[in-house]
Amino acid sequence: MTSATISPKTAEKSAMPGQAPSAKSHHAVKKGSPEKKPGITLFNGPKKIKEFSKKEQVDMFRGLGSMLRAQINTADALKYYGQGLPNKIMVDTLATIRDDINTGMNIHEAFRRTGRFNETIIGLIQAGSDAGQLHEAFRALAGRLTKEVHFQKAIRKATIMPGVIIGVLMGAFIMSQVKIVPQVEEMLTGVGQKPDGLTAISFKVSHFTQSTWHVFILSIIGIAVTIARSSRVRNIIVGIAMSKWRLFRLLIMSMRQMTFISTIRLLHSNGINLAKSIRVSANSVRGTPFYEELRTAADKYENSGVPLSTAFAKYTSVDSQVTHMLSIGEKSASLDSQLEMLSEMYEEDAENYMAAFAATINFLVLLIAVGLIAAVFIGTFLPIFLMGPKMMQSGI
C-alpha cells in the first residue's frame, strides 16, 4: 500500500468549513526552504525559556482576575488581556494558552506547557481551577508576587547602591596610587631627596598597588561572575554569612519561612490537600535546605501518619514557633488560620529585619567610604605636604 502525499494547500482545503486547519498544516515546511529548528541557540544547544518578570506577572494576574470576577470566561479574558500588549512574547504565550484551553486542556497544564511560570504558580492555578475559584487564585498570585517584588527591591536597594559607591571609591583609590602618587615620587626624586617616614610608606603602598591592581580587578570580576552564575556558590556564601551574622540569618530565615508558609496557606485554603501543598511550596524555596526538608516532611506526613507539627519538628529546620502554631491548628481544626497568622508574622519580621539590615549596611558603607577617602587623601596629598620642606631645603 502506498501512502499519499498531501500538500499544505490540500490539507487546508480538506478542512471542514469554519474549522481551523490542522496543526500539521500550520507547521508544514515549504518545498526547497531549509527546515527551521526552533529553540536552538548559536552553540547548537537547547534555548532556555525565560520566565516572565514578576512585574509582568503581577499585571497579568490582576487583569485576568478582574475580568474573571466580571463573569468573562477564561479564554476570552486571555484574548482581551493580550490585545495591545507591548510584550509580543507574552501575547504569543497567552494565545497559546487560550488555544490549549479551547482544545479541552486544563488551564494549569496550559500554563505549564509554556515553560514561563514556576511550579508554585502552576500549583495555585490548579488549586483555584479545581475549587472553581480561579479569580481568587489570580488575585492571590498577584498579591504574593507583589510582596516578592517589594522585598527584592528592598534587597537591591540595600546592596547594589552601597556596592556601586564602594566600587567608585576603590577605583578612585587605584587611580590615585597608579597615576598621581608616582608623579609625586618622581618630583621628590628629581630634587635629590630620599623619602622617609610616612612618605616612604605611601610610596611602598603605591608600588604594591601598581603591581597588583590588574589581578585585583580581574579577581573581583571573576568572583562577581561566579556568584551571579552559580547558585551553589551563592548558597555557600549565604550559609557562611548566616552562620557568622545573626541579623542576616534572621532576615533570610524569615523571608524563606514567609515564602513557603504563605504558599502552603494559599494552596490549602483553595482545596489542595496538605501534603501536595507542602510539596508545591517547596518549589518556592528551591536551592535552599528547606526544599528537601519540606518534601521529606510531606512524605512522612502523608505516608507515616505522623502529625504535621511532628513532621515539621523532626524533618525540617523551621523555627519552634512554626511547629507550635501548627500543633495548635491541628488540635483546634484551625490550620488555615494559623498558617495565615504565621505568614503575616514572618512578613512583618522580614520587613523589620530588612530595615535593620539596610541600616547596618549603610553604616558599614559609610565606614568603608571614610577609610577609602582617607586612603586617597593620605596617599596622594600627604607626600606633597611632606615634600615641601625638603624642596625648600634643597633650594627649590
Q: State the amino acid at position 321 in one-letter form.
A: Q
Q: Which three cell numbers stand for residue 383?
A: 607626600
pLDDT value, residue 136: 81
pLDDT band at 52 (very low <50, low <70, confident <90, very high): confident
How does pLDDT run across 81-138, given as a tens digit for each residue? Answer: 998 888 899 999 999 999 999 999 999 899 989 988 887 788 778 877 877 778 888 8
pLDDT value, residue 272: 77
Full DSSP string of 5-72: P--HHHHHHHSPTTPPPPHHHHSPPPTTSPPP-TTB-TTSSBPPPPPPPHHHHHHHHHHHHHHHHTT-
Q: State the amino acid at position 295 in one-letter form.
A: R
pLDDT value, residue 233: 87
Q: What is the pTM of this model?
A: 0.68
Average pLDDT over residues 58-79: 91
Identify which has the larger pLDDT, 23 or 197.
197
How does pLDDT run across 5-28, given as a tens digit for each residue? Answer: 444 444 333 343 333 344 433 334
- Could you tell me the sign of the dihedral formed by the alpha carbons of 367, 370, 372, 378, in that order? negative
Percentage of residues in the chain having pLDDT higher than 90: 25
> How far, CA to CA in Å, does 18 sit from each of 12, 15, 73, 75, 333?
11, 8, 22, 19, 54
pLDDT band at 185 (very low <50, low <70, confident <90, very high): confident
pLDDT value, residue 191: 66
Of 40-54, 59-73, 140-154, 294-308, the least confident: 40-54
Of 54, 58, 59, 77, give the one whose Cα is nearest residue 67: 77
Torsion of the alpha carbons at 93, 95, 96 and 101, rounded to the nearest 10: 130
How does pLDDT run across 245-286, given as a tens digit for each residue? Answer: 999 999 999 988 988 898 888 778 777 788 888 988 888 788
pLDDT value, residue 173: 85
Q: Which three cell numbers stand for residue 283?
A: 518549589
Helix boundaries (H) for 306-334: 308-315, 320-332
> How far, CA to CA in Å, does 357 sit from each of 163, 258, 364?
15, 17, 11
